[in-house]
Structures are given as C-alpha cells and as structure tokens.
A and B are shown apart, each in its own frame.
Chain A
Amino acid sequence: MPEVRIIAKNFMDMVASMPAMKLDKLYENGFICEAILRSLPPLAKKYVLQLLHIDVPVAAKLLEEWVLPDGFSKHRVAIDRLVQLRVFVEAADRKNEKTYKVTPTFQRSLQKLLVHGGTLPREPMPSNITVRLPTLEDLEAWALEQWECFLLQLISSSQVEKPSNISSSLMKVFQRRLLSQRDRDAPKLTESGFQFLLMNTNAQLWYIIREYISNSEERGVDAADLISFMLEISFHVIGEAYNINTLTDFQRSIIKDLADLGLVKLQQGRKESWFIPTKLATNLSVSLADSSSRKEGFVVVETNFRVYAYSTSKLHCEILRLFSRVEYQLPNLIVGAITKESLYNAFDNGITADQIISFLQQNAHPRVAERAPSVPENVTDQIRLWESDLNRVEMTESYYYDEFPSRDIFEGACDCAREWNGLLWEDSKKMHMVVKAEVHPYVRDYLRRQK
C-alpha cells in the first residue's frame, strides 16, 4: 500500500486522487506526462527514465539493488509516489514477487515526447497580426495586479473599485472556507482565511484553483478536462499570443475565468482575439516548494510598536488592518501601530499571535530582514503576552452545592470531593462548595447515602 499521504498541495496530488480510467485518459497527453514527471521526487524521475524503454515488468528486488542502504527510505517514497500516480503498475510475477512496469499509456506518450518532441495544439500567432503585445515586465505587473485585485475582492468585496467579472456564485465558492458570515454582519475572515492571506502567491493560486476544480463537477464540467487544459496552458510560452479560435467552447468559457485571476491576458485585435499566458499560468505545473518565487518583503517594525509598510497595495493595507491600527497612508507607505486593542480584535477573530509574528517576519523589508531578529524582540514578546492575557481565565465545568442540612454532611461531602481530587472551592462558614463536573456523580451518591 502506498505510504505517502495525499495532501492536495499541488496539481499532482489532485491527479493522484483521480480514478484509474480518467488517469489513463489524461496520460494520452504528452504534456501531462511531462508535468507529472517533473513533479516527481528525483529518484522517481530517474526510475521512470530508466524503465522508459523496458517493456517487460521489472522485479521490485532488482530496483532495490540500485539503491544504497542510506537511500532506502527515499526509494520507498519514490516508488509509492509512482504507484500512487499510476505511473508504475504493480503486479506479481509467477514466483509471486512484486514487479513494476511503466503504465503503457504513459510510456507511449513520454517516448513520443522524447523522440518527436511535443507540439502544442496551437502555435503562437505571427507578430504582424498581434499588435501592441505587452512586454514581459508589463505582463507580470498586470498579472500581479489582477491577482491582488481578485484577493481584495475575495476578502472585502466592498472595497474594490473595478470589480472583476467573476460571477458572484463562483466568488462565494472561493469564499466558502475563508470567510464566515453571521446573519447581517459583514463577513469576517476565518482562521484559515487569515492563513490564506499569509501564504505566498503560488500557494494562494493553488488554493483557488483547487477550489475551482473541485467545484467544477457542480457546474457540470469534467474535472479531468479542466486539469488537462490547465496543465496545457502552463506549457505555453509566456508573453506569446495564442489565437482564441483554437480553443473549444468549453475551454473558452474557462479562459475568461482564468483571465480574471490574472493567469492569462485577453486581447482583442481588429479581427482576431488572442490570449497571452502570464507567469502565474506557467507556475501552475511547478511544484510549490520552489523558493525562487518568493517576493521581497515590505514591513518594518520598530521597537516602539510602529509598523511601516512600504507598499502601494490595498491588499497589504487590509492585511495590516487585521491586527494593527493604520494611522496614515502615504502614496507608497502605510504607517500603523500595533496596539493592545488592535491585537485583541485580531485574537477575537481567531488569529493567533504566532501567525501575526510569522507574517511580520516573513514579509520583513530587506533592510531589516538581514538583522536577527527581523522583528524586535520586545514587540514579539508583547504580542505573545497580550495573547496569554486573554487566556488568563481558565474555564472548568463544575457544580455548586449549598444548603447542607448539617456541618457533618458538609464536611463529609468536602472530604469525598477531596478524595476524588475534585474540590475546587469551599466556604465552611456558609457551607458552600464547588466541585468539578466529573466528580459530581460521586458527591451526589455520597449525599444520597447520607439521607
């Protein structure tokens, strides 16, 4: 049995959880095979390459002989992953020993890709038709702006000046686990909502795409088609224009949603219209661990609890507002203060001190990021102290007894509760006592026996 847990961290986990029939269909597409191959752990990649041209099943023992004793756990992880994704088919030979073989569909597609190369279903459009294509920098800036605009709309729909075209029902789907709405109050961010805001762009994008795909069945769209189309998009060249007429109707309806998320930019020429993939789209097939995509930080926290955020983004302002009091805003600077009230507000919303501190540390401005600690210690300590202040009162379910008929019975009941280690409080003058809830049955039995 595969030992690796399925946590849908990226596309591949979603692919892994698909039924075998659908997987076989997916593997007919060479690009999906390529994306799958790239997502594998290094050892697994190597095994695939090694067995790619071998048509007979290979004994598991033979595979194990390739590995040094040190690497055995890595070997198991690799094999499990391959079996999980159905890249390898497990079988037993005549002597009842385990054998592995590359799935024929996968094998054929990858062999073809290796020898003949892959051709995308569509060619970039010639430059004489496409005019005023954006430069790569403009495209990236546009994509990020679009993405932030989407995020802002996601967390507080009232703030957006130019709302995107994403249908409100789809927006609701995205908000489902991020926002909680009580009756008529404005929707509030949940704990996972705050965590979502703390993630890097790739992780956020993946979360949204995952919701988008898992919701697709409800909209009558086949998840396999959706996944294969998105993976296909991720292999297009950034900044090139592709004719929209090459898409099927189904794909055309999806590409509009993708454009709203900033994955592709749609442009209209005189006769034709085309889409231009952005960096966000090509990142889809990249595994999330890629640290090269980390953004530069922007927050400076001073020892006097002031927060300076060098950012023009409204989204950043919203995030800061979650746990600090924003005092004033300059064109490229947000100045706020971390106060007891602002933090209590955050704690009320289920945000923890550790989350706030890790956000401040992860987004530290390059100037302070070099320092250790990037956030002053007195600030982090105080944030933690204020959090523990809230937890000063401990709640214990308990029972309250009074009106004892005599002092003897009262003292006997006290002793009984003490024996069970459940006496919380007693007042011998007025003959009152409080016991823990779990001790209550014993004390009750004792009192009954006294009658």
Chain B
Amino acid sequence: MPSAPSKLYSDDVSLLVVTLDTNPFFWSTFSVPFSDFLSQVLAFLNSILLLSQLNQLVVIATGCNSCGYVYDSASSKNHVSPTASMPALYSNLLHNLEQFVARDQKLSKPDHDTRGIVPASLLSGSLSMSLCYIQRAFRSGSMHPQPRILCLQGSADGPEQYVAIMNAIFSAQRSTVPIDSCYIGSNNSAFLQQASYITGGIYYKPPQLDGLFQYLSTVFATDLHSRAFLRLPKSVGVDFRASCFCHKQTIDMGYVCSVCLSIFCERHDKCSTCGSVFGQAQKDVTSANSKKRKA
C-alpha cells in the first residue's frame, strides 16, 4: 500500500464558528449547571485548536437580548493573562463571556413578563453573525480554511424568529457552509434539525450530558474532509413544520401565498408580506358552479 499522499495533511484545516447559548432563563431551570457545561465545551474548543496550527475558532455568545463575539483565535487583541494555570483561550473567553452576560442582562426590558414562559435565545442573530464572519473570511485572503458552524443550543425554539432563521439557513446552504447542531434541551429543536438537514451538517442530541466532551470530540470535531469516510449520526426524523407569519405559531397545515410563499395559519384577503390580493376563495367558486348546474 502506498503511503498517504502528502496532500491529505492540509485538507483538514477548518474554520469553526461556535454559537454558545447563554440564555440565563434556560440555564437556571436546566439540570446541568452552566459552569459544568462550559468546562466541557472549553476543553473541546481547545482541542479544535490543538488539531492543526491553521485551524481557526470563533465563538459567538447567543443571549436572549443580544449576541456577541466572545472569542476569535485569529484576532491579535486577545489579552494574554499572566496566570499559568489556564490556557490563554480559556481566560480570554471567560473574560469576554462575563462582560457579554452582564451587557445582555442590562438590555433586558424591566417590564418583560417572564413568569411561566422561558424567552428564546437569539439564534437567528448569532447564525447571521457567523455567516457574516465566514463571508468576510471568504473575501479576505486567497487561502481560507473550510468553514462550518456549530450551534450549541439548549433553550427552545423561538417561533417568532422563524423567517430570520430560515433565511440564515438558506444563505448557509448557498455558500455551502454546513451547520452542525448539538441540542441539549429536553425536546428536539425543529429549527436546528432543519438547519442541519438543509445544509448537510450533523444534528445530534447527546443522551447524557456528563460525557459531553466525548460526544463533542467524537461527532463535532470531525473536519469536513474526514466526514466522507466516517459513520456519523444520521438524522432519524426531521420536523419540517413551518411557523405562520401572522401569529408565529408552528402549524401542520396552513395557507401559502402563491406569489411569495409566505405562510399563514388563517385565510387573508391580502398577503401581508408582498401585498398581492388573493382571488376568490374556493368556496365561492364551488357555489358558483353549483348555481350554474342548477340553472
């Protein structure tokens, strides 16, 4: 057998954009504390950088009022902390994350009624930010690593973000950026299932959270090049249900505008998105027909 062609060694360089769910409402109700989760994720992030000196890592925090970059391995502004017990990645990321959470908290509206409902995280915002970052990487130098997005999400879907998230998914599909999703919440996330399905990424819901690092390193550390040779988790079933544009509810059946494909849960005379006026309803036509038949 010939030895591995030397080209192999540079194919696995990746640009990984990680969106990290920091929704305090979710973490306060969740069985695993955020700190435990974070320590496993940090080890995973460090191992990504360890795999190749050309790998690039960007971490975006997804709050419930805002999103923000908390770490970029390419940026030179990372302040190096003098503590020797912790890699620079950890201290930088934790420092920025603390600042972000405090800022995010200030933005929350005081009159917001949070009883009973857990507000969703701004996944659409962080997806858009990751795509923007990747576009910038594409357009800057001639050599760019293979990009992918990993969503570490815990809180439930926010149906009001449906349109924004779908737009982000389609633009990721267009620029062939796979969206991997690791969902740790209780039910499956329909948004992330669709995102991974459409963009060719992996959707995985770890059954046990105390071994999260093992799941992350087994499934999500796989670079795009190696994915062609490995058995990775396949999606069992994808929840393709859409949300209506009028009340932002997830629906099984509904009305679709024939011009712009907007979805509504009830009949409208005029499309609220593109303004086209809908014709006569089916009922009137059938009654007219029956009238004709009678006459």
Contacts and interface: CB of A to CB of B under 8 A. Distances in A.
Interface string B10-34: 1110000000000000000000000
Given A7-B3, A74-B4, A117-B88, A53 B225 contact: no
Interface of A: 3-5, 7, 9, 34, 37-39, 41-43, 45-46, 49-50, 52-53, 65-68, 70-71, 73-77, 81, 110, 113-119, 285-292
Interface in B35-76: 43, 46-47, 50-53
B213 A53 contact: yes
Contact of A116 (B53, B86, B217, B221): B86
B285 interface: no
B230 interface: yes
A117 B89 contact: yes
B231 A68 contact: yes
B1 A71 contact: no
A74 to B, nearest CB: 5
B10 A290 contact: yes
Contacts of B250: none
Given A291-B10, A292-B143, A43 B226 contact: yes
A67 B231 contact: yes
A63 to B, nearest CB: 11
Given A42-B12, A117-B89, A49 B231 contact: no
Contact of A115 (B1, B4, B43): B43
Among all A-B residue pairs, the 5 with the closest Cβ atoms: A71-B229, A117-B87, A42-B12, A289-B6, A77-B4
B280 interface: no
A70 B10 contact: no
B112 interface: no
Given A38-B51, A52-B217, A117-B89, A70 B6 contact: no
Given A41-B4, A114-B47, A70 B228 contact: yes
Nearest to A33: B50
A49 B86 CA distance: 20
B46 A42 contact: no
B1 A3 contact: yes
Given A66-B230, A74-B229, A114 B3 contact: no
Contacts of B223: 42, 46
Contacts of B46: 114, 117
B214 interface: yes
A113 B86 CA distance: 10
Contact of A119 (B84, B217, B225, B230): B84
* Residue of B6, B9, B85 most packed against chain A (CB within 10 A): B9
Given A71-B228, A77-B1, A287-B9, 5 more contacts: A41-B4, A45-B51, A49-B217, A287-B10, A290-B10
A113 B5 CA distance: 29
B1 A76 contact: yes
